[in-house]
Amino acid sequence: MKKIQINNLLVAVALILSLGACKKEFVDVSPKGQFLTANYYADATQAYGGLVGVYDAIRKNSGGFENMITMMNAGSDDHFAGGGGATDGAGIQAFSNHTLTALNVPGSFWSDHYQGIFRANTLLQKLPTTTMDATLKARFAAESKALRALYYFNLVRMFKNIPLITEPVSAASMYKVKQTTSDSVYAQIEKDLNEAIATLPTTVSVTTEAGRFTKGAAKALLGKVLLFENKGALAAAQLADVNGATPGSASSYGYKLLSNFSDLWVTNNKFNSESILEVGHSSAGNSDWGWWGSGRDEGNTVNVMVGPRSYSTPAGSPAPGLPSGWSFNVFTQNFYDAIKGDPRFAATVFDLKALKAAGQADYIDGYQNTGYFLNKFLPRNADIRTGGGSQELNFKQDTYVIRLADTYLMEAEALGGTGARAQALLDAVRARVGLASTPVSLAAIKAERRLELAGEGHRFFDLVRWNEAAAKLASRGFVAGRDEIFPIPYSELQGTLLVQNPKYN
């Protein structure tokens, strides 16, 4: 009897153990709907997916709350941060009154660009073993390099002392990375762009490929980079190629100023002849708050940010109907006074102060309100999304990283602001808006840049390049030798070998 009991027990125990043992594979679950990094980038389709991922980071220009345009505007003398209150967007407010610290600087300006660089590095590392057409492969590599150059150019202008990373960093070595000199970063940018220019196509299909890097776009970027490096002659050479022999006429790449300045800000007028490097936005992503500013967000956030708060118009008012926004980037009185008589005034400034005074529109004051809103990027009723997602996050206006009027003025500046060519370039920009010629000089070019490119995120970098930031921004708390660049974000200094920028400790 006893024996039987024990046998039974042993059988049961053996049964349990065997049931357990045969289940080892049971707990192996492999990921579905995504790929293992080791296997990806195998063919042209996957490589293209990787390339789109590299492009994704360019939306930093105007997508997400922390975007280049509203941030760089806020730090210039043309705009205030604005918004709902003194703490609405701690980072943008701090840049606007030049009180950035390692803790309040929005880290995404650093990390989002490095995300683009990481994706470019990964693609460039994987491409040699990808099975695909060699020409296409070379083009993908060229585009990756051009984008990597753009991201490094933004980083080096914002943070100056940055790590130069040209292949993916492993977990083992990620805390051993060091900063390098800005000169070597610029050298890498030039190298990447020169290699890209050799391979990039001259034109791309507007319907399916517009927005991808072309030879002209890479040259324009290289010209701009060289100008920031103070290499005037080299910059002028690159930009001359982009601008064409006769300012005002189409260049060999097909670039030509739009005849009507305000057409630049018409949402449907994407990839027009003046556009050289443009960031694409769409309402088709049905963007929502949960992933605002991330890779899936395809909306333009500048639009809603610069709109007036709780805007309304009485019946019969001639004022346009507009969806409301958050009141960021209002123009300063100083800028208003500068542009008041200019033909570009109406397209640039939405003078809500005047409309309200005339009883033709009403709105709620934001922080630092002047009543002068950034008309180039105001949200439009026609652009309100008709699909899903949140209204605020699905505006679809594209933004320019570089447009022809910009390269005209940059070339004129690179030429030292003298000579017939410089004069012709300046005249072409003025003539387009019906302004008479004015004698070319660096001062004249600077004044023209301010009015022509107002609100497009260039002014702060221009002031720094011209060494005028300290003077123009003194009243905003700018400290020379510190505020030309951002502090390195706090999180980048933890456990790493990175060193904070001067005067930020």
Partner 1 sequence: MKDKATGTALSDATVSITGSATRTKTNAQGEFTIKVAQKGAVLSISYIGMKTVTYTVNNAGPVSIELESSSTTLEDVVVNVGYGTQKKSVVTGSISRVSAKDLANIPNGRVEQSLQGRVAGVTIAQNSGQPGTPSTILIRGVTTFGGGNNPLWVVDGIVVDAGGIGYLNQSDIESIEVLKDATSAAIYGTRAATGVIMVTTKKGKAGALTVNYNGFYGSSSPAKMLHLLNATQYATLLNERSVAGGGNVLFNNVGSLGLGTDWQKAIFNNDARRYSHEVSLSGGNDKSTFYLSFGTQDQQGIVATEISNFTKQNIRLNATHKISKVFTLGQTLGYTHAKSIGIGNTNSEFGGPLSSAINLDPITKLVITDPLVAAGAPYSVNPVIRDANGNPYGISTIVGQEMTNPLAYIQTRLGQYNWSDDMIGNAFLEANITNDIKFKSTIGGKLAFWGYQGFTPVNFLSATNSLLKNNYTKSNNNTLNWNVENTITYNKKVNDHSFSVLLGQGAYMENNGGGSSVAMLDLPINSYKDASFNFDISQANRTSGTYDFTQHKLTSLFGRVNYNYQEKYLFTGIYRRDGSSRFGANNKFGMFPSFSAGWVANKEGFWKQNSIVNTLKVRGGYGVVGNDAIRDFGYLSTVAGGLNYTMGNAGVITTGYAPTTLDNPDLRWEETTQANFGFDAQILNDFSLTVDLFNKKTTGILRPIAIPGYVGVTSAPVANVADMENKGVEVELGYRKRIGEFNFSANGNFAYLKNQVTYVASDTRFINGDAAFQSMGPVTRTEVGQSYNSFYGFQSAGIFQNAAEIANNKNGAGGLIQPTAKPGDFRWVDTDGDGSITDKDKTYLGSSLPKYTFGLTLNADYKGFDVMVFAQGAAGNKIFQGLRRLDIGTANWQTRALSRWTGDGTSTTYPRLTSADDNGNFGKMSDFYLEDGNYLRLKVVQIGYTLPVKMLKKIGGTKLRVYATGENLLTLTNYTGYDPEIGGGVFGIDKGVYPQAKSFILGIQLQF
Min dist CB 441 to partner 1, Å, is: 38
Which one of 266, 288, 362, 431 is in contact with partner 1 (CB under 8 A)? 362
Does 420 engage in binding with partner 1 (CB under 8 A)? no
CA distance 106 to 488: 10
C-beta atoms surrounding 228 within 10 Å: 20
Structure tokens at 26: 């049971």
Closest to partner 1 by CB, 79 vs 396, is 396
254 versus 314: smaller Cβ distance to partner 1: 314
Nearer to partner 1, 345 or 504 (CB): 504
Residue 490: its H or E element:
helix 490-493
273 binds partner 1 (CB under 8 A): no
Among all chains, which residue has been given the structure tokens 């030798």? 481
Q: Is 455 in the site for partner 1 (CB under 8 A)?
A: no
CB of 95 to partner 1, least distance (A): 14
Q: Does 419 bind partner 1 (CB under 8 A)?
A: no
Beta strand residue intervals within 288-348, DSSP E: 309-312
* CA 228 – CA 236 distance, rounded (Å): 12
Candidates 60, 79, 119, 376; binder of partner 1 (CB under 8 A) is 119
Q: Which residues within the stretch 388-417 sit at the binding site for partner 1 (CB under 8 A)? A: 388, 391-392, 396
Binding part of the chain for partner 1, among 200-208, 335-343, 370-378, 433-441 by CB under 8 A, reads 200-208
Binder among 84, 320, 343, 416 for partner 1 (CB under 8 A): 84
Q: Which stretch binds partner 1 (CB under 8 A): 84-92, 214-222, 231-239, 439-447?
A: 84-92
Rule CB under 8 A: is residue 249 a binding residue for partner 1? no
CB 56, min distance to partner 1, A: 4
Positions 41 through 70 that interact with partner 1 (CB under 8 A): 46, 49-56, 58-59
Tell which positions 145-184 bind partner 1, by CB under 8 A: 162-163, 165, 168-171, 174-175, 177
Q: Which among 1, 8, 53 has a CA at the least distance from the CA of 294?
A: 53
| Residue 419 burial (CB count, 10 A) | 13
Q: Is 132 in the site for partner 1 (CB under 8 A)?
A: no
Nearer to partner 1, 116 or 247 (CB): 116
Give Cα 387 to chain centroid, integer Å: 25
Instruction: Please give the helix or strand (H or E) that residue 401 lies within, else none.
Output: strand 399-403
Output the smallest distance, CB 475 to partner 1, in A: 14
Q: Are 161 and 182 in contact, with CB atoms under 8 Å apart?
A: yes
For residue 281, state whether it binds partner 1 (rule: CB under 8 A). Answer: yes
**Which one, of 144, 130, 139, 136, lies nearest residue 41 by Cα?**
130
Q: In whole angstroms, how far apart are CA 341 and each of 369, 374, 391?
A: 22, 17, 35
Residues within window 306-325 making contact with partner 1, judged by CB under 8 A: 309-315, 317, 321, 323-325
Q: Which is nearer to partner 1, 104 or 194 (CB)?
A: 104
In this structure, the number of other CB atoms found within 10 A of the CB of residue 282 comes to: 15
Residue 72 beta carbon to partner 1: minimum distance, rounded to whole angstroms? 19
CB closer to partner 1, 58 vs 225: 58
Per-residue exposure over 381-417, b if at least 16 CB sit within 10 Å of its own CB, e if not: eebebeeebeebbbbbbbbbbbbbbbbbbbbbbbbeb
User: How far apart (Å, rounded) are the C-alpha atoms in residues 302 and 67?
Assistant: 8
d(CA 179, CA 15): 61
Q: Examine residue 370 and tell whether it contacts partner 1 (CB under 8 A).
A: no
3-state secondary structure of 46: helix
> How many residues in the shown chain lie near partner 1 by CB under 8 A?
121
Site for partner 1 in 424-453 (CB under 8 A): none
Nearer to partner 1, 463 or 498 (CB): 498
User: Cα separation of 505 and 501, whole Å?
Assistant: 8
Give the nearest distance from C-beta 382 to partner 1 in angstroms.
11
When binding is defined by CB under 8 A, the residue of 161, 194, 273, 286 that contacts partner 1 is 286
* Cα torsion 283, 289, 291, 294: sign: positive
CB of 38 to partner 1, least distance (A): 8
Given candidates 61, 70, 73, 122, which one binds partner 1 under the rule CB under 8 A?
122
375 contact partners, CB below 8 Å, separation of at least 6: 265, 346, 347, 348, 349, 350
Residue 136 sits in the site that holds partner 1 (CB under 8 A)? no
User: In whole angstroms, how close is the CB of 91 to partner 1 at the nearest point?
Assistant: 9
As given in the structure block, the two tokens for residue 9 are 């027990």
Q: Of 114 and 153, which CB lies nearer to partner 1 in the complex structure?
A: 114
DSSP assignment string, 252-284:
TT-----SSGGGGG-TT-TT-TTEEEEE---ST
Using CB under 8 A, pick the residue from 5, 129, 230, 481 that binds partner 1.
5
The region of 229-237, 370-378, 406-414, 490-498 touching partner 1 under the rule CB under 8 A is: 490-498
Please identify which residue in 135, 184, 249, 294 interacts with partner 1, judged by CB under 8 A: 294
CB of 463 to partner 1, least distance (A): 25
**Cβ neighbourhood burial of 288 (10 Å; 0-12, 13-18, 19+):** middle
Is the Cβ–Cβ distance between 295 and 56 less than 8 Å?
yes
CA distance 306 to 451: 18
CB of 444 to partner 1, least distance (A): 35
230 interacts with partner 1 by CB under 8 A: no
